[in-house]
Amino acid sequence: MSNKLNDINEIPWQVQRFNELISQEESIYFDVDDFEEIIDHYVIANEFRKALQVSDYALTVHNGSVPLMLRRAQLLASTNKEDKALEILLDIEALEPDNSDVFLTKGAIYSQLKHYEKAIEEYNKAVHNADEPDYIYCNIAFEYENMGNFDKTIEYLSKALDLNPENDLAIYEAAYCFDLLSLTDESINFFSKLIDRHPYSIEAWFNLGVSYINAELYEKAQESFEFALAIEPDHTPTWFHMGYALSLNENFKDAIQAYKKSMDKDEGDAMKYYYIGECYEKMEDYVNARLYYKKATRLQADIPDAWIGMGVCEHEMGNAKIALEYLHRGVDLDPDNTGYLCILADIYMAQENLEEGANYFERAIESSPEEEIIRIDYADAMVDKKEWIAAENIMVETIEKLPQSAIACYRMAAYLYLQGKNKEASYFFEEAMMMDYEKHASVFEQFPELKDNPEILSLIHFYGQ
């Protein structure tokens, strides 16, 4: 028992009196409400055995008391004695056939037993006389979700919101289902209709904004968040997501202000500091970016993105040794992250340490062997260093591993053209054009010096007819 529960001032008088009478072996009488208070005390203290003993004694004093019988059934269910609990509930149902608490408890027990259809049946019985039927509809929705029937889940969450548009549980569960199933258009439609019926629902506006972010409609997301903030100007989740939408729309300056408004005034939030740092980094303000990344790591040392971000900033500011130290901290926290491994590889390459650069590119390939872009970046890095044989070998291995990769064939052709090996280059260029003609532009994007190559222009003209 916690110190708080041991403090006599925190223990209800009923509990104190009950324990005194038990220790004196005197007969005990409390009314039903007082017994419920004692039972609740032991439940809160996580002492279910004592709670059951009290409920057993209470029923000898108040034989047939429905509230005490119901409480005992709930206790039995909490201690994995579902069969005994259901027996008591059947007895209560015979006494009070319209008691919605009985059906709610039966529904919860059947859900616990993973008998979801039976749970739904009991919850439906509870709806008619319930004080808050919208929450019962949520329970039904959860059972359908457990069964994998998401259409029914959304149907019952909609019923809950028709009764109570402020039911945040229903709103967020609907958002979760849409996100889980990647139903972005359906999510936008759902929350738009909810707003039509209840235009002052801040949670509906908020989740509509999140849905627009998922649809990559960032300006519409911002508009939705503005409506949410007009209803509740200090709604911190909305300010955070406003910042995220602004950053995705490359409005980094305003994104920083929104992120700052989302912060708790009393204590910092590590991930929010990280996102602010990311905005500064994208603005190429590496001093401020490093500052906020460092704040993030001081609050939470296990954020690999923040360590990687500090490493990138230090590298951009010319602090090679410190950059590598931070980058390695990030990689140590997430050693299979191919993005981190590639950043580390690129920085080693930039520092003319080809051996370590190659090592980290190889690790990235090993971690994600089907990722074409890693192999291509690796080969391009070798080309930048005029390591032609290494670049060719990387592309040969890529073509063998990913034989349908037109980009790999185009890259191989480009490397050969750049060395004047036109015959071999044309072979790979033709292979690539037969796979995907349109991607020939990738050669000129990476190597604009090949735009006027007559061999390439001739092949493009021939295959483009």
pLDDT in tens, 26-59: 566 667 777 777 777 777 777 777 777 777 777 7
What per-residue confidence (pLDDT) applies to 267? 63
> What are the φ and ψ backbone dihedral angles of 201, each rounded to 5 degrees?
-85, 105
Residue with more model confidence, 316 or 16: 316
Q: Which of 64, 60, 71 is nearest to 33 (CA)?
A: 71
pLDDT at 404: 92
Comparing 454 with 76, the larger pLDDT belongs to 454
Torsion of CA 308, 310, 313, 315, to 10 degrees: -70
What pLDDT, on the 0 to 100 scale, is given for residue 2? Answer: 40
Cα–Cα distance between 46 and 5 in angstroms, integer?
A: 11
Residues above pLDDT 70, as percent of the chain: 92
159-171 pLDDT, tens digit per residue, is 999 899 889 999 9
- Mean pLDDT of all residues in 374-379: 96
pLDDT, average across residues 372-397: 96
CB atoms within 10 A of CB 325: 14
Best-predicted range by mean pLDDT (78-87, 161-170, 238-247): 238-247
Average pLDDT of the chain to the nearest whole number? 89
> What percent of the chain shows pLDDT beyond 90?
68
* pTM higher than 0.85: no
Of residues 66 and 272, the one with the higher pLDDT is 272
Q: Closest by alpha carbon to 405, among 394, 416, 418? A: 394
Name the pLDDT band for 145 (thresholds 50, 70, 90): very high
276 close to 259: Cβ distance less than 8 angstroms: yes
Task: Answer whether residue 1 shows pLDDT above 60.
Answer: no
- Whether 101 has a pLDDT exceeding 90, the answer reads no
Q: What is the pLDDT of residue 22?
A: 57
